[in-house]
Structure 1
Amino acid sequence: MASGEIDETNGIDTAEAETKQFDIVTDHSDHHYANLNPSSEDQDSTFTNAGSSVRKKIMQEWNILKNNLPDTIFVQAYEGRIDLLRAVIIGPAGTPYHDGLFFFDLAFPSDYPNQPPLVYYHSHGLRLNPNLYAKGYVCLSLLNTWHGNEEEMWNPSGSTILQVLLSLQALVLNEEPYFNEPGYEKFREMPETQKISNNYSEEAFMLSCKTMLFLLQKPPKNFEDFVAQHFLERADVILRACKAYADGHMRVGYYQDDGSSSTSTTVEVSSNFKQSMDKLYADLETAFNKNKDSMQEKSEEMKETACAEPQQTMEVH
């Protein structure tokens, strides 16, 4: 897609509209870094000057994202603010974050790529991972927000935005997030530590479910249809997983789409977890039904509008 090119889908049922892996939109008003580079829209800005090395590098990043994003990560750039990006990662299967949506706002610094991008996580005030703070701070060596080995840190000559997103998906939103805490990995084989890890995963799943409720109530701009469609498609699976985890049929993260588990071992469930999940189940069911009704109403309105439009006929002479 060329810079500034915007595709619009008109007259298509929202259930049939397909969200592009990489798209360009116009409204950046709710972006966390919208006021970071106030001169970025000026003609002499490093972001708008056609000869700027920063602009050229960002355009390269756009092409990398357009051609290489996995089908579980979606990115939107902004026509008038190329220094900003918004990404959503679908929670990976086999983790406490499965089927959740996790939004990140990114901003290119004016000396990019000498410095890594700024990344803000839309937490809704919840800390569901050791690397993702309640105030949106993202702790990751690749972003230079956590010390690590030299090869793990940002490399101006080789690191990319795609690499950042893949790291967030694979290293942060992983199967056992408890061990993301510094120094905890060495205790992985201890039985008591494994139980604590399981409890942490239960909490992470509950917070992921709460994040779903926040997103359904107020989705990020330009992703409204995406959020609605995702939860329309995944509602039943999410609810079945909630029930399976609450009843102790399987460990959190092990539920599969067909209702089976990758382990046959039942797990002990605390009364607090079961009560919390029962409440979340009811809240999610209500929110999913409301989302479904809203999408059906929108679809009917679009069909009525299409039918009401005058049809052109060919004159025969």
Structure 2
Amino acid sequence: MFECGEVRLNLSHQWTLPSGQIWVPLVTTMYDLLVAIRDKVLNADPLFHQPGFVDCGFSVVSEYFSFLYNKNVLIKSLKIMTCIMNKPPKNFEAFVIGHFRNRVIDIMKEYTAYVNGLKAGNGEGNNGCCCSHEFREAVASCISELNNSFNKIEQLLMTLSVL
């Protein structure tokens, strides 16, 4: 993920098909692409799969950099969610509205846990602090904008139901 919000996934020299071949245009399937995204991006430590990351094995330093990277991705995800809700991609407006309407409670619960200093996703009984004060403030500042975007979606849905 880059500062501008762009996400790049380079498969050409980093990933091989089960047959041992490198990505082959017009041969490699969408399934292959989705598996690569799952393996490289949608995991607990995506930093370790970034181009240029030198794998030195497990170390406290590499784990710390991964932790910082994940916190940065979380903040950017909040900002991207807000942008997508405020200006959905053309022809995906209904999908965006439906997705966020269905997920608003889970999203707010997850990020509220971070603001409260709890590790999200560990249930109501989690009392361990996992976040720095600065990180918690950064999440809190994004949540008000996110909440406003959720409210705009609800208002839009009520307007549409009246018509």
Does the pair score TM above 0.5? Answer: yes
Matches within 5 A, 1:90-169: 125-126=4-5, 132=7, 138-141=8-11, 144=12, 146-148=13-15, 151=20, 153-155=22-24, 158-169=27-38
TM-score w.r.t. the length of structure 2 is 0.82
Report the CA distance between 1:227 and its aligned residue: 0.1
Alpha carbon RMSD of aligned pairs, Å? 2.8
2:115 & 2:108 partners in 1: Cα distance?
Answer: 11
CA distance in 2, matches of 1:159, 1:224: 30
Instruction: Give, in angstroms, the shift of residue 166 of structure 1.
Output: 3.3
Whole-Å separation in 1 of the counterparts to 2:90 and 2:80: 16
Answer yes or no: is the 8 Å Cα contact 1:232–1:288 preserved in 2: yes
Larger Cα-atom Rg: 1
Match of 2:72 among 197, 200, 203: 203
Q: CA deviation at 1:229?
A: 0.8
* Alpha-carbon displacement from aligned partner over 1:244-297 (angstroms, at most 9, x marks no partner): 1222211xxx527xxx28x95724422221111111111111110111111121
Once the two structures are TM-superposed, the CA of residue 184 in structure 1 deviates from its matched residue by 4.0
SS of structure 2 residue aligned to 1:195: helix
AA at the equivalent of 1:204: V
| Higher-helix-fraction structure | 2
Are the structure 2 counterparts of residues 124 and 235 from structure 1 closer, same or farther at C-alpha, using a change threshold of 3 Å?
farther
The offset of 1:169, in angstroms, is: 3.3
- Does the CA-based 8 Å contact 1:213-1:287 persist in structure 2? yes
In 1, Cα distance between the equivalents of 2:54 and 2:105?
35
Structure 1 position 233 matched with structure 2 position 99: no
Offset at residue 172 of structure 1 (A):
1.8
After the TM superposition, list the runs of 4 or more consecutive aligned residues in structure 1 that deviate by more than 6 angstroms.
none
Conserved 8 A contact 1:231-1:288: yes
The CA deviation string for residues 45-99 of structure 1, in whole angstroms up to 9 with x for no partner, is: xxxxxxxxxxxxxxxxxxxxxxxxxxxxxxxxxxxxxxxxxxxxxxxxxxxxxxx
Q: Which runs of 5+ in 2 are unaligned?
A: none
Name the residue aligned to 1:39. Answer: none
Q: CA 1:274–1:236 in structure 2 vs 1: closer, same or farther (change >3 Å)?
A: same
Contact 1:216–1:228, Cα closer than 8 Å, also in 2 = yes
When residues 275 and 154 of structure 1 are mapped into structure 2, their CA distance, relative to the original with a 3 A threshold, is same
Deviations 1:108-135 (A, max 9, x none): xxxxxxxxxxxxx9x89225xxxx2xxx
* C-alpha contact 1:232 1:291 (8 A) present in aligned 2: yes
Aligned counterparts of 2:113 and 2:21: Cα–Cα separation in 1 = 38
Quote the residue 1:255 is aligned against.
Answer: 121
In 2, Cα distance between the equivalents of 1:149 and 1:159? 10
Tell me which of 144, 148, 157 is aligned to 1:282: 144
Answer yes or no: is 1:243 the counterpart of 2:112: yes
Displacement of 1:157 in angstroms is 7.5
Which of 65, 74, 81 aligns to 1:212? It is 81
Structure 1 stretches of 5 or more lacking a match? 1-120, 133-137, 302-317
- In structure 2, relative to structure 1, the CA distance for the partners of 1:184 and 1:235 (3 Å cut) is farther
- 1:218: Cα distance to partner? 1.2
Count of residue pairs brought into register by the alignment: 160
Match of 1:186 in 2: 56
1:201: Cα distance to partner?
0.8
Secondary structure (helix, strand or coil) at the match of 1:186 reads coil
Could you tell me which amino acid in structure 2 is paired with residue 186 of structure 1? C
Structure with the bigger percentage of strand: 1
Paired with 2:84 and 2:140, the residues of 1 have a C-alpha distance of 20
For residues 223 and 124 of structure 1, the distance between their equivalents in structure 2, rounded to whole angstroms, comes to 24
